[in-house]
C-alpha cells in the first residue's frame, strides 16, 4: 500500500516514513525534530477524486502538525487548507510554480515567526480543547 514511500525512504536520507504510529507518539516524533510540516501535492498528476475535492479537502495532518508545533507548508491549489494556513498565520502557502524554489524560500524564513500563531491555533483547534465538553455531552 505504501510501496512508493518505502522506496523513497531508501533512496532519500531526508525522507522518513513511519508506518503505524499512533497519534500521541507521532506528535512526539515530530515535535522539536522538524522545522515544517508539508502538505504539498504534485498537480501534474491526475486525481481520481477530482478538482472540487482537491480544493475543498482538509487534511487531518495539518492538525497533527499544529499539535507538534510545526508551521505548515501547503500547496496554494489546496484552496481550503491554504486559506486555513493563511487566515491563522501558521505557515506558508506555495503555488505549483513556486515549488521549485521552495528550499531557497524556506531558508529565508524564520520558522519561529509562526510560534505564537501556532500556539493560538492549538488552543482554538486541537482536540484537547473539546474533550471536557465532549465527555459532558456523552453523559
Over the stretch 84-124, which tens digit does the pLDDT of each residue have? 999 999 999 998 888 788 888 888 888 888 999 999 999 89
The answer as to whether 100 is a domain residue is: yes
Q: How many residues does the chain have?
A: 139
Residue 18 lies in a domain: no
Is there a domain that residue 52 lies in?
Answer: yes
Number of CB atoms found within 10 A of residue 59's CB: 16
Task: Kindly state whether residue 21 falls inside one of the protein's structural domains.
Answer: no
Record the pTM.
0.75
Number of domains in the chain: 1
Nearest Cα neighbor of 67 from 116, 113, 119, 111 is: 119
Q: The domain spanning residue 81 has which CATH number? A: 3.40.50.2000
Contacts of 89 (CB under 8 A, 6+ apart): 114, 117
Look at 44-48, 71-75, 85-89, 100-104 and tell me which has the smallest mean pLDDT. Answer: 44-48
Is 26 a member of any domain?
Answer: no
For residue 20, being part of any structural domain is answered with no
Domain span holding position 96: 31-138
CA distances for 65 relative to 7, 44, 58, angstroms: 24, 26, 13
Amino acid at each position: 500500500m505504501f510501496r512508493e514511500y518505502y522506496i523513497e525512504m531508501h533512496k532519500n536520507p531526508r525522507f522518513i516514513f513511519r508506518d503505524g504510529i499512533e497519534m500521541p507518539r507521532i506528535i512526539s516524533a515530530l515535535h522539536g525534530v522538524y522545522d515544517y510540516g508539508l502538505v504539498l501535492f504534485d498537480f501534474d498528476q491526475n486525481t481520481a477524486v477530482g478538482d472540487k475535492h482537491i480544493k475543498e479537502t482538509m487534511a487531518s495532518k495539518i492538525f497533527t502538525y499544529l499539535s507538534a508545533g510545526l508551521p505548515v507548508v501547503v500547496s496554494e491549489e489546496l484552496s481550503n487548507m491554504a486559506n486555513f494556513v493563511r487566515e491563522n498565520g501558521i505557515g506558508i502557502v506555495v503555488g505549483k510554480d513556486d515549488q521549485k524554489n521552495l528550499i531557497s524560500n524556506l531558508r529565508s524564513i524564520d520558522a519561529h515567526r509562526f510560534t505564537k500563531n501556532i500556539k493560538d491555533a492549538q488552543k482554538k483547534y486541537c482536540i484537547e480543547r473539546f474533550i471536557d465538553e465532549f465527555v459532558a455531552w456523552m453523559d
